[in-house]
Amino acid sequence: MRSLLFATVLLAAGLVIAAGPVAARDRLVIGTTQYPSTFHPNIDSMAAKSYIHGLTHRPVTRDNAAWETQCYLCVKLPRIEDGDAVVIDQPDGTKGIRLTYTLDPDAVWSDGVPVTTDDVLFTHEVGSHPQSGVGNAELYRRMTAFEIHDEKSFTVTISKLTFDYDGIDDFRLLPAHLERTIFEADPATYRNRTLYETDTTREGLWLGPYVVADVVAGSHVVMRRNPHWWGREPAFDEIVVRTIENTSALEANLFSGEVDMIEGSLGLSLDQAIAFEKRHGDRWQVFYKAQFALD
C-alpha cells in the first residue's frame, strides 16, 4: 500500500552549532535504526541502503524534492516534444517508447575512470539475467533493446509507455571495469561475490560526492569526500551513519553528543518525534518532510 508519511529529522541545534562553523563542517554523525543488507545499487530495495546511496551513488534519473523527474547522470531528460523520446507501435498493438540519453561528460567513477555506455550495457546485462537477483527486474524486462551511439549517448527501447516515461530511476549504473569479470564468472552467485559486498571501500565503486571509506557490519558506515566528484563541493568532510536499533538508545546517543542528528524515515516514528519536540523543542530542532513510503 502506498501512503503519504512525514519523515522527521532531528538536529542538535545546541552542541553542533556551538562547536563553531569550521568544526560543524568537518564531520556529521547521523543515527538510524537500520543497517543495509547490501551495498549493491541494484540488489534488494532497502531504505537504509537508499540513504547511503543518496550520498555515494548518483542515479541516471530520480525524482527531486519537488517530485519531478530530474537528470543526475544525464544531460537532459528525453521529451516527446524534443524528439529524443519517440512513441512506437509494437506488434501486439501496444505502445512503447524509445528514449535517448546522453551521460554527463564530466561523470567519472570514484577511481577517475569515466562513466560510459559500456557501464550502461553491463548494467543491463546484470539486471536482465534471471539469476542476478536485482530488485526491480520488471524494469529490465521492459528494456527490450539498446542502441549505442558513442561512449556517452545511447537509446533504450521501453516496451511500455507510461506517464513518467522519461525516467529510468532504478537503472543504477555498475562499474563494468570492476564488476564484469566477477559477474561473468558465475551470475548465480554474483550477489554474494560483488565488490560491493566483498570490498565495499574499493576505489571505483562509487558515483557521488562521497565514497564509502569504512564499514563495520551492523554498526556504522563512514563516508568521506570523493576526490573525483565532478559536482558541487559537499558540506562535510566526513559523514558517519551509525546504526542504533533501539530508539531509546538512539535518543540517549543524541543527548550525549555521540550522534548529531537522527534520520527521520529510519529513526523515530512521527508520534515519537512529536513527543520528542514537546519535551525537548527548546534544545533541539525537529524538521518535518513529506515522503512516500511503501508498506
d(C-alpha 49, C-alpha 47), whole Å: 5
C-alpha cell at 38: 547490501
- What pLDDT does 281 receive? 85
The dotted CATH code for 34-243 is: 3.90.76.10
Question: If we measure between CA atoms, which residue out of 244, 201, 204 comes closest to residue 223?
Answer: 201
**pLDDT above 90 for 1:** no
Q: What percent of the chain has pLDDT over 90?
A: 73
Instruction: Kindly give, in sequence order, each residue whose CB lies less than 8 Å from that of residue 85, ignoring residues fewer than 6 positions away.
Output: 78, 79, 97, 98, 99, 100, 165, 166
Q: Mind listing the pLDDT tens digit for each residue in 235-284? A: 999 999 999 988 889 999 999 999 999 988 788 888 888 898 899 888 88
d(C-alpha 104, C-alpha 72), whole Å: 8
Q: 4-13, 126-135, 136-145, 257-266: which has the minimum mean pLDDT?
A: 4-13
State the helix-helix crossing angle for 176-185 and 117-128, rounded to 10 degrees. 30
- What pLDDT does 142 receive? 95
Q: Where are the domains of the chain?
A: 34-243
**pLDDT above 90 for 149:** yes
- What pLDDT does 18 receive? 22
pTM above 0.85, yes or no: yes
